[in-house]
Amino acid sequence: MDQTQKIFEALNWASSFLQKNNRDVNAGELLLRHFLGMTRSQLLANMHEVLPEQIQETFQQAVFAHIDGIPIQHIIGFEEFFGRDFIVNSNVLIPRPETEELVLGAINRIKRAYSSNLEGLKLVDIGTGSGIIAITMKLECPELSVSAVDISNEALSIAEKNARNLEAEINFLHGDLLLPLISSQEKVDIILSNPPYIPNRDIEILSEVVKDHEPHQALFGGEDGLDYYRRLMEQIPQIMNSRAIIGFEIGMGQGEQVAELLNSTFPGSHVEIVQDINGKDRMVFCEIG
């Protein structure tokens, strides 16, 4: 790259190079904003400024790394979720915007069901990963008592760091799905989860950015992607109070099947399939009691 390259020239180079290699052209802007410590409006206002040589080199290396398949979030070390920065690495899933819709849907249903009187209600986030659901729920609804479970010690380590950084009081538990709560005979009112739901066969069509750099344990849910929902149907009745809210994120085409699992397990409950902003079935909520 030219030693006297300006910001707009660096972005043009990155966009062209990324597009040629079938990567998101916006990655260049995200990286450059990170290295310059600028907001988008600041970057746009400084397009004709010359890039410092060291940042040019760092930026170029980062673009090459992304071309090689390393996710942007692993290069910069975090991803934004619900307006907050969460540390991520190869031990946890990178937060997706669709999960923000699960959180928002849960908040709305909890406040409606409990008339905003949330004091003492217990929530558990199953398969917490980086902690985005548990931490966001605690910060948005501070009255809730929040627990988070994951089978991966490495993931829990990241989640605990995020909780400390964001000053969220979460009870982290190591274990397989709800087994830690079942063994302690604890009861909860709200169960949220974004479990692994990609069918095993779909590994062939995933981008290498995902399949080579995110934990398979958090991605794949068996032959049809529904293994974890089935296991949760066996476990949830053992830990929930008679009145409860369940919220799941789901994969493409899984809405009816997950809704049927919930209806079969909790006859008489109110089960709702909810689409995301792109019009795809993305969440299933179940209100019991």
Q: Is 197 annotated as a binding residue?
A: yes
Q: Is 279 annotated as a binding residue?
A: no
Structural element, H or E, at residue 80:
strand 78-81
Q: Is 150 annotated as a binding residue?
A: yes
Cβ neighbour number for residue 216 with a 10 Å cutoff: 13
Q: Is 128 annotated as a binding residue?
A: yes
CB hemisphere CA count around 225 (13 angstroms): 19
Buried b or exposed e, range 71-84, using 16+ CB within 10 angstroms: bbbbbbebbebbeb
Q: Is 129 annotated as a binding residue?
A: yes
Q: Is 196 annotated as a binding residue?
A: yes
List the end-to-end C-alpha distance of the chain, in Å, as a whole number: 63
Range list of H helices, the chain: 7-20, 27-36, 40-45, 53-67, 72-76, 97-113, 132-140, 153-166, 179-183, 208-211, 227-239, 255-265
Q: Is 37 annotated as a binding residue?
A: no
CB 66 within 8 A of CB 75: yes
d(CA 129, CA 78): 13
Q: Is 194 annotated as a binding residue?
A: yes
d(CA 227, CA 170): 27
Binding-site annotation: residue ranges: 127-131, 150, 194-197
As annotated, the binding site for S-adenosyl-L-methionine includes 127-131, 150, 194
Q: Which residue positions form the known binding site for substrate?
A: 194-197
